[in-house]
Chains A and B, each alone.
Chain A
């Protein structure tokens, strides 16, 4: 069985609970596939160190198929309406299919014809990548509507234009770290790009820094920013403290190949990464020798905007 079956199951259900999702991953016999390092939940771990269902969940989220744990939704997960995430590349409009899948999708795609082409690729670690393409945007949009897809124009740039930079107050929330015994406290080292053991009192003493509180399966991340404590998404916090410590050379861009690379421990924050992934419809590729994650088919304008949001300069190659 494959992730296509899982996505179809989720599309038919529409929404559900976390245990139901985990049961489906088991029941549909989704195979464990090592798709590279995963720094979302576990910073130094590779995907194979995460439970399979967590790795599957993160990939479905990155690709914009399903949203998990949204405070505005009653259920633990909900499928995104079928949407064509378009972007312009080299004079052609391309659209990556995100969200729900339905049984006669392939038949409807085959019936599009005209100047609109489509392709479907089997790629490890994700549901089939389905792409539509046309030189004329209007034709692409009309074809998508005939199939029953919503259209998000210039999806990668639109996502980036909607989210605040890593050091923006909108990216963090005032909070207090947990008290009580048993918590393992670690501080993110901006020079080594990894967690180092710390004491909980270090947090109070620090003006700027990122701290991780661990207890069994729980992890909370707290950013000390100008002497105040905030709850923050871990990757946002990393880039915020990196910026504060004037480390600005983490991103590199290959203009010839349109590939944006980041160090594995500095995976971009979640929604920003979704924007990079939607440029190609592919998950990032792990470059083990350099410990880099490579995002392909990223236009220079998108890479630039991503760099601005991460407060990083981009090294051109």
Chain B
């Protein structure tokens, strides 16, 4: 009954390389200066400049969101989860890089905080007690080991733009609105009017609002279903409202489906192809060289886009590729949990609902068959097919488990002559197969003289002599049992 490993313990990360999803980090990632002690007041967000920002993944030599080895300065993003009943929750999710451990403790301005690995690129999100202040003023965490020093930063601000990502649930903060894409905008109450105006200017409607009564941090509101349809020029100054002014930049997104690994999607679960940005003024979208038009929900398709094999999407000078792979898998039972039987002679293994003898001890094993505790011997149709069932739990009266290498037909008491006729029966446990007399060839090889055949025939004859009833007690079963008894008698005659 004991699990082999404690469920509360998690293994160290052993994941292989994965595709880097396109990163767009909302936080300013600054070079690390002045040691790793967190500052009391992290720098304020200064707003986007008029020039479009390059996504970090486009910068040569840098993994997305990951600074160089000397200044490991990482982002903290804001995560918004929409929950049932119109509620929401807001948390912080810290970036992770491959050289960082799965679990670590970081220093904060007020003490320490434990981070736990969620996946290769992120730590598990956490909700701090005073999210109102955290969002407004920002936070800074640091961690220093012999090998490296790291700092995580969320710069404080009044407005956060959030959108879905391929690798995380919910809405994650990003630098700015993108045309055609669904966003959530988290802003302070005092900037609400400005934000509503900016959302309207971008062609979206700021009508779906979540306030603090539904889970937004106190003094903050969340606009949901913000889908901008118009590009808006950014102001020249570093204006925080620039985050709500989408540029006409094109991006190709592969969304949903079932991605097996890297750029491979499972057949019948191909990704949805969406193109964001000012698509109307961009060149056409091509999939596998064929012009594609947007269909329902802005999804682009051409015939065969989801067929097995490699595919590519191209639009406005940028491209993305994916491969559809067929479902190909096979599964074998394995020993997930192993328990010795109550006599410690054999070991039973459990795999899902399957109960079997352990693979190493029963190479031709089959799912175990339950037999009454009174009938622990199973016999098959061929003389010599004889096995003893295991007492697994050891609880009084609990059934036994037989896992023979043959197809069992009957379950018999171990000592029929001393069994109670009132309590014990000859139980038909398998398909009603007629007994199979050994071939002349096997007889000639002395098959009848083996100990297993002796045990098989003796047990059947003893049960017959005791006149135990059959179960089920009907004419067909009685007739089948009589055939076994005849063969057992014939064997006994040959042996004597």
Contacts and interface: CB of A to CB of B under 8 A. Distances in A.
Asked if A and B are interacting partners, one says yes
Interface of A: 1, 5, 8-9, 11-14, 17-20, 22-23, 25-30, 32, 40-41, 51-52, 58, 64-73, 76, 78-83, 85, 96, 98-100, 102-103, 138, 150-155, 157-166, 168, 170-173, 216-221, 231-233, 236, 269-272, 274, 278, 305, 308-309
Leading 4 A-B pairs by shortest Cβ distance = A80-B352, A85-B353, A64-B352, A67-B336
B15 interface: yes
A159 B351 CA distance: 10
Contacts of B59: none
B191 interface: no
A233 B81 CA distance: 33
A160 B398 CA distance: 9
Contact of A83 (B6, B7, B260, B352): B352
A159 B350 contact: yes
Contacts of A99: 331, 352-353
Contact of B393 (A67, A68, A70, A162): A162
B331 A233 contact: no
A100 B1 contact: no
A170 B342 CA distance: 9
Nearest to B102: A19
Given A8-B266, A8-B269, A162-B392, A150 B333 contact: yes
Contacts of A103: 267-268, 327
Given A1-B256, A69-B7, A23 B15 contact: yes
B163 to A, nearest CB: 13
Interface string B327-360: 1111111111111101000001011111100000
Contacts of B103: 216-217
A12 B367 CA distance: 24
Contacts of B398: 160-161, 305, 308
Given A9-B266, A28-B258, A157-B370, A165 B2 contact: no
Given A171-B2, A172-B2, A26 B168 contact: yes
Interface stretch (B111-119, B181-189, B194-202, B245-253): B111-119
A162 B15 contact: no
Contact of A161 (B4, B259, B329, B392): B392
Contacts of B166: 27
Contacts of B207: none
A72 B336 contact: yes
B269 A236 contact: no
Nearest to A22: B119
Given A161-B399, A236-B2, A309-B1, A155 B394 contact: no
B486 to A, nearest CB: 25
A14 B355 CA distance: 20
Contacts of B117: 19
B114 A220 contact: no
B63 interface: no
Interface residues of B, number: 75
Q: Which of B116, B260, B331 has the most CB of A within 10 A?
A: B331
B357 to A, nearest CB: 10
Contact of A70 (B332, B337, B367, B396): B337
8 contacts: A26-B119, A70-B4, A70-B334, A71-B4, A71-B5, A153-B369, A160-B398, A232-B2
B149 to A, nearest CB: 22
Contacts of A271: 1, 337, 350
A196 to B, nearest CB: 19
Contacts of A82: 331
B13 interface: yes
Contacts of A220: 6, 8
Interface in B1-46: 1-11, 13-15, 18
Contacts of B333: 80-81, 150
A106 B141 CA distance: 50
Interface in B257-295: 258-261, 266-269
A152 B355 contact: yes
A229 B157 CA distance: 54
Contact of B10 (A18, A78, A80, A233): A18
Contacts of A308: 393, 395-396, 398
B367 A17 contact: no
B7 A40 contact: yes
Contacts of B13: 17-19
B477 interface: no
A171 B340 CA distance: 10
Nearest to B7: A41
Contacts of B14: 17, 19, 76
Nearest to A151: B367
B393 A165 contact: yes
